Amino acid sequence: MSTSSDVKYRQGASFLLATLGRRAERAWATHLTGQGITTAQFTAMAALAEGERTQAQVATAIAVDPRNVGATIRKLIEARWVQARPNPADARSRLLSLTPEGRQWWNDLQPGLRQGRNAFFHALTPDELTALEALLGKLDASHAADSINVPGQYT
């Protein structure tokens, strides 16, 4: 028996976020596969497009366990899109950055990313999209500290 206080899962924020997340993931994966890159590689490239980072910093930026980002970084280094150098502040880590080829690839990708973003969010006005991004950013920030380095999370 249903009551007015029952949670309406299909209209609830958690259900909608999960459903839209899967749809967005499929859309991006399809687009990125056509560009010769995986979603994991893309997110690492996005983090490095913002500047030089250690592997642990890349993992934190993309919300994955640091142990799981190594293979992704190795593939990007093999593709000559990412380079590594010793970290003068910590000999146990390396500093990662985009190579000139990686930066060019990233820059060339931007028009297609904008088109994909516009297509995915076509039902929203620019103001609605801005508001959605602000709300999602606020929600993400509130959960970010809880989700880093949690055993079994993001594996």
Domains of the chain and CATH, by start: 12-144 (1.10.10.10)
pLDDT tens per residue across span 19-36? 999 999 998 898 889 888
> Using the 8-state DSSP alphabet, how is residue 98 labeled?
E
Question: How is residue 132 written in tokens?
Answer: 């959605």
pLDDT tens per residue across span 48-67? 999 999 999 999 999 888 88
Enter the pTM of the model: 0.78
Is 152 in contact with 62 (CB distance < 8 Å)?
A: no
Is the confidence at residue 114, as pLDDT, over 70? yes
